[in-house]
A and B are shown apart, each in its own frame.
Chain A
Amino acid sequence: MLRNIRPARIPLMVLGATAAATAVMLNAVVPRLTELGRQVSAAQADVQNLRLKTTANEEALARLHRDLPAYRMLEHSGFVAPNDRLPLRLALRDVRDIARLSSLDYRIGARRTLPAPPHSAASRLALHETPVQFKAALLHEEELLRLLVALDERLSGLYRLEECMLKRLPTSGTSSFAANLEAACRLVTFSVSTAEAGG
């Protein structure tokens, strides 16, 4: 063992100076490298998000351009509009006239908002349905078919016929123009609105 280290003071000083210089250099370099690494990670995440976003936007834009004519037609038909009762009532009156019926009793129910399907992208889009029931006296079966054609012509927006009942009435025998049949149908009309618009 060395009894004293005085003779080794110059090598020790050299070692210390070297270690200090190395430490100073590393102290300058390593934090810079760490900071750059952090910036690169952030930039990579940012670029990845932007890439996903722009790709999704492009797809949405392509869909939009594809669907826009159909959307315009739906908008024009009243599917995308406030669901007023008056146009529906006017349409039913027109249906009666076109189908040449003596009368058409109807009942328009309260509008219901359908639950959004799970994982729906259009969570701000609300789909509503309005139940409509009508009843008419018919001379023969073909009048029901005529009535349905008239409905298709006049009823704006989208609807779905759910049930139709055709019932033979007891014959009175007093008049050949007396109604023989009674038709009762149930349908739902659909409309959409944005959540902000509230229907």
Chain B
Amino acid sequence: MITRVKLLLAITPERVTVAIWRTGRLVQRLAVPNSHEGRAACLPVLAEYHGMPVYILLDTAREDYRTELLPHAHGQARLEMVTRKLRQHYGPTSYCAAVRRARERSGRRDDRYQFAACTDPALPDGWVALIEQLRLPLAGVFLLPAVCESLVRRLPGSATNVLLLARSHAGLRSMYFRGRHFELGRLNPLPTGNPEQRAAAYAAEVANARLYLDAMQTATVDEPLVVALLDPFDEEVDAFRMLAASHPELACLHINHALVAQALKTKGADTRDTRQGPDSVFLHLLALRTPSLNLAPAAALEPIRHQRFGRSIYVSAALVAALGSAFGGYCWWRIGATEDALAILNEDRTLLHERAARQQHNVPDGTSPPVFASEVVNAATEIRKSARAPERAMTAVARALTRTPEILLHELTWKSAAPADEQGVVKIAADETVELACEVRLPPAEYRVALSSIRAFAEALSRDNDISVARLTRMPPDADPAATVSGNTSEAITGHTRFAVLVTFKRR
């Protein structure tokens, strides 16, 4: 989390620079000697910034870095192992730290750790004590090479192995970054003389640094390397040019003021003040990005933890309040809308009740109970629909009888529905049937004529427009193969010519 206001201390064995970093700028700056007097001079300045987090940058030769492989572990086991290693490497100093950089891809797949320490605890101790005395929260103690990591990450190009040469209050720093992580560093006296001499000094330092890296088994001498010269004040332009010209085998990069400004601007810093002093660039870098290698003892970090914890609780409280207020507001809005809807519904309900009451008044008097009236009318209509009279049937039969005068009607049975069979199933879709029992009035010897009269009568019935079917259901015995006939051959053939017809009428 980037705190928008930070108190920065750059501590070297000789002097201390105190700066206030506010929204990307170093707004106040005070340089004092690293002594009791210096601390006393800083006291009123620091006291003004109660509650502001303090970041300490150590620029000293009394520092140590090493990279080591440790078995892969988690949680408490890892913490104990790293703590044991720190104690083993750095003994009494409390300003040490380790960070896990990567995991090996082969073998036991150990974890690669980087260890760092300030081997001169007296250097920051006095200032840390002063900070504790003023109850300022210490955010961390960082070594200068670790701070430079963020600058190397923002350099143009894709080089991963960089040897950064930087001038600081302590001297000329040569810092080797592999994979843009700091690995090893050296501190030498600042080169002096004319640009040519300084270029020679830089070249010598590059050669020595490569030999040192090779000796420390960090990088081989012939490994591709980018040599970057940090020159925020553009003082080493000539020296850099000579260096690059005299050593064409080196890939050189001049990190001048413009490049520094570009790198810092991309992180939101105002770079107008980068010329205030040699350490202004490092202070900016420290303010912009907190390195992971924090050497501050755990106890010294308690106040900042409390402060951050408190702030996170305040943020949580604000979130709870905001969410609660938002939800409460939404609920109030819903209550308002629901009350409006309820009022409309109640109004509707009242209107409907009134309408129902008016309907009761509109019921005609003397109809008790009135709802039955329509049902009674419906029932009567249905009955009337099904009512039939035999006039049509009798007229049709009379028409057929007129055409066949030899037919004598004995019996006529009219039914208002089609006859059902034994199972009660109506097979003919009709609503009127007539059964006729008739006789042909002819002498018995002329039974053939009688039969043709019967057929003519049935045909006359069938042709009638009102009749659907006329079917002979019973024939005289001599014409009915199903009938049993008996007699004596010595006698004349006699017999009656009675028959029956079932007539089905068309639907009306």
A168 within 8 A of B: yes
Number of A residues whose C-beta is below 8 Å from B? Answer: 72
Contact A19 B320 (CB under 8 A): yes
Nearest chain B CB to A1's CB is how many angstroms away? 8
Q: Which residue of B lies closest to A71 (CB)?
A: B373
Please, which residues of chain B bring their CB within 8 A of the CB of A50? 349, 352-353, 356
Secondary structure of the A side of the interface? helix
Contact B376 A15 (CB under 8 A): no
Encoded as 1 (CB less than 8 Å from any A CB) or 0, chain B from 319 to 353 comes to 01101110110011011001101100110110011
User: In the assembly, what is the distance between CA of A46 and CA of B314, in Å?
Assistant: 49
Contact A70 B342 (CB under 8 A): no
Give the residue of B310, B325, B328, B338 whose beta carbon is less than 8 angstroms from that of A40: B338
Q: Which of B280-288, B412-420, B455-463, B473-481 contacts A (4 or more CB under 8 A)?
A: B412-420
Given contacts A8-B310, A164-B390, contact A192 B376 (CB under 8 A): yes
Give the residues from 356 to 398 in chain B that come closer than 8 angstroms, CB to CB, to chain A: 356, 359, 362-364, 367, 369-377, 379-380, 383-384, 386-391, 394, 398
Contact A74 B377 (CB under 8 A): yes
Please, which residues of chain B bring their CB within 8 A of the CB of A166? 411-414
- The winner among B342, B364, B373, B388 for most chain A CB atoms within 10 A is B373
Give how many A-B residue pairs fall within 8 Å (CB-CB): 201
B410 within 8 A of A: yes
User: In the assembly, what is the distance between CA of A168 and CA of B328, in Å?
Assistant: 99
B306 within 8 A of A: yes
B305 within 8 A of A: yes
Contact B310 A64 (CB under 8 A): no
B41 within 8 A of A: no
Secondary structure of the B side of the interface? helix
Please, which residues of chain A bring their CB within 8 A of the CB of B348? 47
B242 within 8 A of A: no
A68 within 8 A of B: yes
Nearest chain B CB to A112's CB is how many angstroms away? 15
Give the residue of B303, B349, B414 whose beta carbon is less than 8 angstroms from that of A164: B414
Given contacts A8-B313, A148-B390, contact A67 B328 (CB under 8 A): no
User: In the assembly, what is the distance between CA of A79 and CA of B372, in Å?
Assistant: 13
Q: Which of A52-60, A89-97, A99-107 contacts B (4 or more CB under 8 A)?
A: A52-60
Please, which residues of chain A bring their CB within 8 A of the CB of B311? 11
Q: Footprint of B on A, CB under 8 Å? A: 2-3, 5, 7-8, 10-12, 14-15, 17-19, 21-23, 25-26, 29-30, 32-33, 36-37, 39-40, 43-44, 46-47, 50-51, 53-54, 57-58, 60-61, 63-68, 70-71, 74, 79-80, 121-122, 124-125, 127, 141, 144-145, 148, 158-168, 190, 192, 194
